[in-house]
């Protein structure tokens, strides 16, 4: 039992992540609204397609809809007709005048019902101005307020347009990168230990952790490429986050090349240990700092993603944190095998 419990824990957590990560449903959301362009002073029917909303279980009287500019300018729908399980026709009687003096204004479409909660498609409907007198028709824009919106009932992860179900990649792709970082961190600690004590075992540990960490990083790049192909339409773009991740992987690839190019065991250990310490402190700004300084296509960037925002909420953290621990424990298990192999190798070479 001793020495094996953490391996079992890693496997159990991984199992939990796969099962709960896949079974927890996505919250409902609006995917598209058509037509996008309507004119003021006309009655327009907007067909909205939803995801996971299960509209047929709702009654039409419960479902409310608005076109929302901001907290003051809100236009309530004249009527709402549920036309399918994932489709709804909303009729708006748009006044002659827009609330702001612009030729075209963008509005967000909001649907709300008990159980389902409120769902929104931001900046989706564009209304072109027809009349010229700003003061007329103002009451239609300001007479209604959103009031109390419903919250979605039941455990579900956030709906994000474009991402949809691939939000679950947070549990796999993102955790791979996090655990890679933890493995590199432990490896740096052992590299410092080696440089202080000159014990070959410490170098074995450090190099094994780097090898597994690099594998995780390469898997991170490969899984990211698959996702990018189906979200951005290309495997690789010149995005700052992607390029910096690739650069950090190349730094560690150089570590592996460096190790295999030095024959003398003692020299190899000393040089690669000091390289490892430098490499780690280079990838910290490459992965964590530079992508946050500029704009990036990658989700969870810009601003300060460390505090969550809309990509991460508490229901996701229930799976995300165990996923990091699971991948780290499995990574440690993999490097443990490597360490034991290297120990045997050293002993055989001594004979």
Partner 1 sequence: MKYKLLLVLAIISMSINTAFAHGDGPDFFRSIGKIYVVVGVMVITFIGITCFLIYIDRKIKKIENEISSHN
Find tokens 């964590």 and name the residue. Answer: 288
Question: Which of residues 134, 226, 289, 293 is near partner 1 by CB under 8 A?
Answer: 226
Question: Which of residues 9, 60, 222, 254 is near partner 1 by CB under 8 A?
Answer: 222
According to CB under 8 A, which residues from 105 to 124 bind partner 1?
Answer: none
Candidates 39-47, 121-129, 238-246, 342-350; binding stretch for partner 1 (CB under 8 A): 342-350
Edge-to-edge strand list for the sheet holding 87-93 = 29-34, 43-51, 87-93, 79-84
How far the first Cα of the chain sits from its last, in Å, is 32
Cis peptide before 101 (omega within 30 of 0): no
* 341 lies in the binding site for partner 1 (CB under 8 A): yes
105 versus 330: smaller Cβ distance to partner 1? 330
Say if residues 1 and 24 touch (Cβ distance below 8 Å).
Answer: no
Candidates 103-111, 134-142, 239-247, 338-346; binding stretch for partner 1 (CB under 8 A): 338-346
Question: Which of residues 19, 60, 100, 225 is near partner 1 by CB under 8 A?
Answer: 225
Question: Which of residues 6, 126, 232, 235 is near partner 1 by CB under 8 A?
Answer: 235
As a whole number of angstroms, the distance between CA 301 and CA 40 comes to 37
Question: Which of residues 153, 197, 229, 267 is near partner 1 by CB under 8 A?
Answer: 229
Torsion angle defined by CA atoms of residues 288, 289, 293 and 297, in that order, rounded to the nearest 10 degrees: -20
Binding mask 50-89 for partner 1 (x = CB under 8 A): -x--------------------------------------
As a whole number of angstroms, the distance between CA 256 and CA 214 comes to 9
As a whole number of angstroms, the distance between CA 41 and CA 130 comes to 7
* 345 lies in the binding site for partner 1 (CB under 8 A): yes
240-261 and 265-284 helices, crossing angle to 10°: 170
What are the residues binding partner 1 (CB under 8 A)?
18, 22, 26, 51, 163-166, 168-169, 172-173, 176, 212, 215-216, 218-219, 222-223, 225-227, 229-231, 235, 330, 334, 337-338, 341, 344-345, 348, 351
């Amino acid at each position: 039992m001793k020495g094996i419990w953490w391996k079992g824990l890693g496997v159990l957590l991984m199992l939990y992540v796969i099962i709960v990560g896949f079974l927890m449903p996505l919250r409902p959301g609006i995917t598209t609204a058509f037509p996008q362009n309507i004119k003021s002073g006309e009655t327009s029917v907007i067909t909205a397609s939803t995801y996971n909303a299960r509209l047929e279980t709702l009654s039409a009287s419960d479902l409310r809809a608005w076109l929302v500019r901001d907290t003051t300018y809100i236009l309530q729908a004249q009527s709402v007709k549920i036309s399918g399980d994932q489709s709804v026709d909303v009729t708006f009687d748009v006044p002659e005048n827009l609330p702001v003096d612009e030729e075209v204004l963008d509005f967000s479409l909001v649907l709300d019902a008990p159980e389902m909660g409120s769902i929104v498609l931001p900046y989706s409907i564009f209304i072109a101005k027809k009349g010229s007198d700003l003061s007329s028709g103002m009451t239609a824009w300001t007479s209604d307020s959103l009031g109390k919106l419903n919250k979605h009932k039941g455990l579900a992860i956030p709906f994000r347009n474009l991402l949809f179900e691939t939000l679950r990649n947070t549990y796999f792709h993102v955790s791979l990168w996090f655990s890679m970082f933890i493995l590199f961190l432990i490896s740096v600690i052992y590299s410092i230990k080696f440089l202080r004590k000159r014990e070959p075992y410490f170098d074995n540990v450090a190099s094994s952790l780097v090898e597994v960490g690099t594998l995780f990083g390469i898997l991170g790049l490969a899984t990211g490429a698959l996702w990018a192909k189906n979200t951005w339409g290309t495997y690789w773009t010149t995005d700052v986050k992607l390029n910096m991740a690739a650069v950090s992987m190349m730094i560690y690839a150089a570590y592996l090349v460096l190790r295999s190019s030095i024959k003398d065991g003692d020299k190899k250990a000393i040089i690669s240990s000091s390289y490892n310490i430098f490499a780690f402190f280079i990838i910290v700004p490459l992965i964590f700092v530079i992508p946050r300084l500029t704009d990036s296509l990658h989700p969870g960037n810009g601003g300060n993603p460390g505090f969550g925002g809309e990509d991460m909420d508490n229901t996701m953290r229930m799976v995300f944190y165990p996923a990091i621990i699971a991948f780290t424990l499995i990574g440690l298990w993999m490097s443990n095998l490597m360490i034991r192999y290297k120990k045997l190798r050293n002993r055989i070479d001594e004979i």
